[in-house]
Amino acid sequence: AAGVIQSPRHLIKEKRETATLKCYPIPRHDTVYWYQQGPGQDPQFLISFYEKMQSDKGSIPDRFSAQQFSDYHSELNMSSLELGDSALYFCASSSLSGYTGELFFGEGSRLTVL
């Protein structure tokens, strides 16, 4: 079965650079969530989108922005990267129309900021 696809899987950037992470939800899923998991930490909710509109916002820094496109894929843009941004970024998707309550997670994008 198709799963949530994230790219790139690994990314290394310097401080003050920018990075873009991509997320392709499970087909027919209309909601995308972004989570940040620092080393040894629990996943922290950043932001979510439903039908291309932002539906909820968590602890996303102002340096970060995200959007969901017409094909339902989402991109997380991170600018002025800081060392503390090094983390595993998970994307998850769900379907409101076929709602089961479950979020399906991708394998994550590991960002390392040097």
Partner 1 sequence: AQSVSQHNHHVILSEAASLELGCNYSYGGTVNLFWYVQYPGQHLQLLLKYFSGDPLVKGIKGFEAEFIKSKFSFNLRKPSVQWSDTAEYFCAVKSGGSQGNLIFGKGTKLSVKP
Rule CB under 8 A: say whether 90 interacts with partner 1. yes
- 14 and 76 in contact (C-beta within 8 Å)? no
Burial of 31 from C-beta contacts in 10 A (0-12 / 13-18 / 19+): buried
Rule CB under 8 A: say whether 75 interacts with partner 1. no
CA distance linking residue 95 with residue 2, whole number of Å: 14
Q: Pick the stretch among 15-23, 47-55, 59-67, 69-77 that binds partner 1 (CB under 8 A).
A: 47-55
Report the nearest approach of partner 1 to the CB of residue 15 (Å).
26
Contacts with partner 1 by CB under 8 A: the residue count is 24
Rule CB under 8 A: say whether 61 interacts with partner 1. no
Q: Which is nearer to partner 1, 48 or 68 (CB)?
A: 48
